[in-house]
Structure 1
C-alpha cells in the first residue's frame, strides 16, 4: 500500500472517530504515535482544523518535526499560547482606542478571559512537558480540563456584544489568530492520548488526600458550628470581626505571600450587600457562613442594569480549590431584568456544600473547570444552571420558580462547544421540585430539564426525583422550531423517580438517550466525571463516588 493511500485512510479514520464522538460521550481520538509522513502538514492534517495549524508552522521556522503525538501536542500548545497572547494584545489595544462604554465593558471581560486562557494553556504546557529525568506533572485528563477551560473562555467572550445589543465587534478583533481552532486542535490531539477511564486520577494523586488540604483543614467542613472554625479572618457587619465586608477579607487573603495553605474566612450571620470576586492566583480560599439562611451575600446586577452576563455575578470565583459552606449567594435583580448571575465559578477542584444559590434567569454560571455541589439549593427560571464546567450536583434541591407571564422554565443550558471538551452537567440523586412562588401557577408554566446553548451540549440526570410539573417532553430546543444541536447534543436520563420520570413521551432527538446500564451511567458520576476520588476524600463533604 503506498504512503498516499495510507494517509488518506488514516485521515478518513480520524474524521470518522470525530463524527462518532459527537454522539457518544466516551469516544476519544485514536492517533498513531509514530505518524511522521508528510512533514508538519501531515501532522496538521490529523487535526479538526488543519489550515490554522499549517499556517502557523509555515510562518514559524526553527521547530523540530515531531516523532510522536506527545511531542506534537507540546508544539500545538506552544503555538496556541503565542496566538492567545496576540489575541489578548489586540483586545487590549482596542480597549485603549474605544470610547463606547458598552463596548468597553465587553472588552474588559474578554481581556480577563483571554488572560485566563493564557494561564490555562501555560499550565497545560508546564504539566505535559517533563523536565529531564522527571515525569510530566499532570495527567492527560488534567490537561483536557484546562484546555477545555481555555476554549470556554474564548466562547464566553463572544456573547457580551449581544448582551448590550451592539454589533459583534469582538470576532473581527481576534479572528486572525484562529485561537479557538487552535485550542480545538489541542483538545483533539490530547484526547488521542487519553486512555479509557482516565478521569479517575488527577494531579492530586490516585489515592489519599490531595496535597492542598492538610489534616487540620480536613476537619473544617465536618464542624457542625461555624463558630468553632479556626478562621484566619472573621467578617462581621457589627464590627466584632476583623473586617466588615467579605471582599475586604478576600483581598487580604489575596495579599498573602504563600497561597498553598488553606485560608479560612468565617462570615458571621448577616446580609452582606456586595459583589465579591476571588481572583486568579488567590487560591485555597474557604468561606464558611452560619448557614444558608443566616449568612447571605447579595447583589442586584443584571444585563438590563448595564452589566454583561459574565460580570453581573454577585460572586465570581476564579482562584483554585475554592470551598464554600453554609452561605447564600443571591441576585435580587428579579425576573424582568434578564440575565442576572448569583454565582459564577471557574475554580478548578472547587466545592460548594450546603449553599443556596438564588436568582431568576442565569442564576448559576458553572463556567469552567471541575466543580462539586453537595446539599445545595438552586433557584431560578430560565437557563438557571448554565456554563461549561465538568460539574456534578449531588443531593441537591433544584427549585424552578415563577417566571414572567408567557415564559417557560428551563433548568440547564450547558455550553459544550467542542466534542473533545470533557465537560457537562451531571445531576445525581437530587430533587427537582417547584419553588413556593411557582406552585400557585404551576399548571400555566412549562418546565424543562434543559436546552442546548452550544452544539455539543451535554447534561445527564441520574437517580433524581422529578416532580409532576416537569414537562413529559423533558427537554426543549433552543428556540421553538429550532433544530440546532439536536443531533449533536448528549442529553440522558438514568433511573429517575417521581411523577415525571417516565421517558415514554420524551423528545425523539438523536442526541437524547435513556441509559439502561450502570456502566453507561457511571461515566457521569463523581468518581469518573470529575475525578472526585482523587480530591474529595476526607474533606468532610459527604459524597457518593459511583451510582
Structure 2
C-alpha cells in the first residue's frame, strides 16, 4: 500500500475546516470578492478544496487503519485530488480572473500527490490482488444486501422514497428539493431513490459529496428532462455551468435526459458534471454543444446512453467506460470543427481515461445535410497525458480520415498522450490515413485492448453487478 503520503509528508490527516485552514481562508477570500466572476471562481475552488481534503483523508485513513481497500482505490482517490486542483486553476482561466489565488494552488500539494501516485502506481503494476476490494459475493464493501435487492428491482419507481411531478401529483415539484429532503431524512446507509415523473424540469441541481447513494429514476430519456442554460459566456466557469453536478459516491440515473440549451454560440456549457465514484448512467441522454458531458473524476459507467454535442463534448479525467452508447455529433458554428473527446489526464500515473466500447458515432439530424462541410475528430489532448481508446465501435463517414486533432494547432502532448483504436468498423473506421503521432496506436493485441475494458479500467466486475445494470466485462 502507499507509503509517501503519510504522517511524514502531510503531518497526519488533513483537518476539517477551521478559521486557519485553506477552506476557511478561501471562504474569507470569497467574502471579499467584489465581482461575480471572482465569486464564482472562489465558490468552485472552495468546493474542490474540500473534495480534495476528503480524497486525501480517505487515502490516509485507509493506510493507517489497514482498511479493506486496494492500491487501485488509492490511485483513484489520489487521481481525483490532483484533478480537482487543476480544475480550480482552469476555472480562473475560463473567466479570465488573472489575479485569483487559492491556498490549494500554492505550496507543494500537487507535487506530493504526484509523487504518491508514482510510488503507488509501481505497487499497482506489481499487485496480484483484485482492482477493488469486495466481499465474498463480489460486491464492494459499501453496498449492503438490502441495497443490492433494491438496485436489481425492475419496479424502482414504485419503491421510491420521494416522487417529483410537475403537475403536483408527487410530494415535490423540484428535483433539488426532493433530493435535499430525502437525503436529510435517510435512515441508516440505505439508497435514496427519487422518482422523477415525465416533464421538463428547468433547474440546476447539485448532489453534493455528502449525498451518497442517490438514484434518480425517470420515465424515459424522451420524457423526463432536466434542463439549464448556464455557460462560460454568461459568466460561469465550465465547472459551474453544469445543469446537474454530482459529487456523492454511488450515484445512479436511469431514464433521464440532462440538457444544456445555451447553444453553440455561448461556448462551454455543461449538461452534466460527475465526480461520483462507482456511478452508473443507464438509458440516459446528454444534450448540449461544447462540453456537454464533463466526466470530471472517479470511476463511472455509461450504458445505452445518447450523447449530443460539437466540441470536446465528452471531457474530463474520470476512469470511464461508455458501452453500447450512441454519440451524435451536431452542427457546429461556421468555421468550427467537431471534436468528440478531450480527456484530461495530467499525470502519467493517474489511472484514468475514456473508453468507448461497442458504441456508434453518428451525425445528428442537423449535421447530416452539411456533414461534408465540417471536419469531425475523435479527440484532442486537453492535458499532457490524455488517454482515450475507441474499441469495436461503428464510426460513420463523418469521422475525418486523420481521426484525431491537435490542441490548437500545436505539438502539445503528441508524444505523451495515448490514443488507441481497436477493431472499429464503418466508413470512418479505417486507420490507414490516421495521424502518425508517437502517442497514437492502432491496437492489434487483445491483451492491450483489455486494459480499457469495464473489468480493468473501472474495476467493474467488483461493483457493477450490485447495480443490476447489464454490462460486458471484457472485449
TM-score, normalising length: structure 2: 0.94
1:92 Cα deviation after fit? 2.9
Q: Are residues 199 and 403 of structure 1, via their aligned partners in 2, closer, same or farther at CA, if it must alter by over 3 Å?
A: farther
Matched residue SS, 1:170: coil
1:143 aligns with 2:74: yes
What does 1:178-257 correspond to in 2, within 5 Å? 178-196=108-126, 200-205=130-135, 207-215=137-145, 217-218=147-148, 227=157, 229-256=158-185
Could you tell me whether the CA contact under 8 Å between 1:275 and 1:313 is conserved in 2? yes
- Rounded to whole Å, the distance in 1 between the matches of 2:12 and 2:143 is 33
Residue segments in structure 2 that go unaligned for 5+ positions in a row: none
Match of 2:307 among 378, 381, 393: 378
Partner of 2:7: 75
- Rounded to whole Å, the distance in 1 between the matches of 2:233 and 2:420 is 34
1:297 aligns with 2:226: yes
Could you tell me whether the CA contact under 8 Å between 1:78 and 1:125 is conserved in 2? no
- Rounded to whole Å, the distance in 1 between the matches of 2:362 and 2:127 is 33
Match of 1:463 among 392, 395, 416: 392
1:341 aligns with 2:270: yes
- Rounded to whole Å, the distance in 2 between the matches of 1:520 and 1:161 is 38
Q: Are residues 335 and 364 of structure 1, via their aligned partners in 2, closer, same or farther at CA, if it must alter by over 3 Å?
A: same
Partner of 1:40: none
Stretch moving more, 534-543 or 295-304: 534-543
Partner of 2:280: 351
Q: Are residues 318 and 259 of structure 1, via their aligned partners in 2, closer, same or farther at CA, if it must alter by over 3 Å?
A: farther
Could you tell me whether the CA contact under 8 Å between 2:395 and 2:425 is conserved in 1? yes
- Rounded to whole Å, the distance in 2 between the matches of 1:93 and 1:313 is 25
- Rounded to whole Å, the distance in 1 between the matches of 2:44 and 2:249 is 19
Q: Are residues 280 and 532 of structure 1, via their aligned partners in 2, closer, same or farther at CA, if it must alter by over 3 Å?
A: same
Could you tell me whether the CA contact under 8 Å between 2:85 and 2:104 is conserved in 1? no
Could you tell me whether the CA contact under 8 Å between 1:334 and 1:360 is conserved in 2? yes
Q: Deviations over 1:452-509 (max 9, x none)?
A: 00000000001111111101111000112x0001110011111111111111111111
1:70 Cα deviation after fit? 4.7
Residue segments in structure 1 that go unaligned for 5+ positions in a row: 1-68
1:530 aligns with 2:462: no
Match of 1:164 among 89, 92, 95: 95
Q: Are residues 158 and 81 of structure 1, via their aligned partners in 2, closer, same or farther at CA, if it must alter by over 3 Å?
A: farther
Matched residue SS, 1:180: helix
Partner of 1:43: none
1:170 Cα deviation after fit? 2.8
Match of 1:398 among 323, 327, 331: 327
- Rounded to whole Å, the distance in 1 between the matches of 2:373 and 2:470 is 38
1:168 Cα deviation after fit? 4.8
RMSD across aligned C-alpha pairs, in angstroms?
Answer: 2.1
Q: Are residues 187 and 257 of structure 1, via their aligned partners in 2, closer, same or farther at CA, if it must alter by over 3 Å?
A: same
- Rounded to whole Å, the distance in 1 between the matches of 2:335 and 2:411 is 22
- Rounded to whole Å, the distance in 2 between the matches of 1:338 and 1:83 is 38
Match of 1:275 among 176, 180, 204: 204
Q: Are residues 470 and 77 of structure 1, via their aligned partners in 2, closer, same or farther at CA, if it must alter by over 3 Å?
A: farther
Partner of 2:317: 388
- Rounded to whole Å, the distance in 1 between the matches of 2:148 and 2:237 is 37
* Higher Rg of the two aligned structures: 1
Matched residue SS, 2:467: coil
Q: Count residues in correspondence.
A: 472
- Rounded to whole Å, the distance in 2 between the matches of 1:263 and 1:531 is 24
Matched residue SS, 1:340: coil
Could you tell me whether the CA contact under 8 Å between 1:77 and 1:125 is conserved in 2? no
Partner of 2:38: 103
1:186 Cα deviation after fit? 1.6
Could you tell me whether the CA contact under 8 Å between 1:197 and 1:528 is conserved in 2? no
Q: Are residues 292 and 223 of structure 1, via their aligned partners in 2, closer, same or farther at CA, if it must alter by over 3 Å?
A: farther
What does 1:2-13 correspond to in 2, within 5 Å? none
Q: Are residues 148 and 79 of structure 1, via their aligned partners in 2, closer, same or farther at CA, if it must alter by over 3 Å?
A: farther
- Rounded to whole Å, the distance in 1 between the matches of 2:460 and 2:303 is 12
Stretch moving more, 72-81 or 453-462: 72-81
- Rounded to whole Å, the distance in 2 between the matches of 1:199 and 1:155 is 31
Matched residue SS, 1:127: helix
1:83 Cα deviation after fit? 10
1:222 Cα deviation after fit? 5.2
Q: Deviations over 1:224-279 (max 9, x none)?
A: 5664x311111111111111111011101231354521111111111111111111
TM-score, normalising length: structure 1: 0.82
- Rounded to whole Å, the distance in 2 between the matches of 1:200 and 1:518 is 20
Matched residue SS, 1:271: strand
1:201 Cα deviation after fit? 2.9
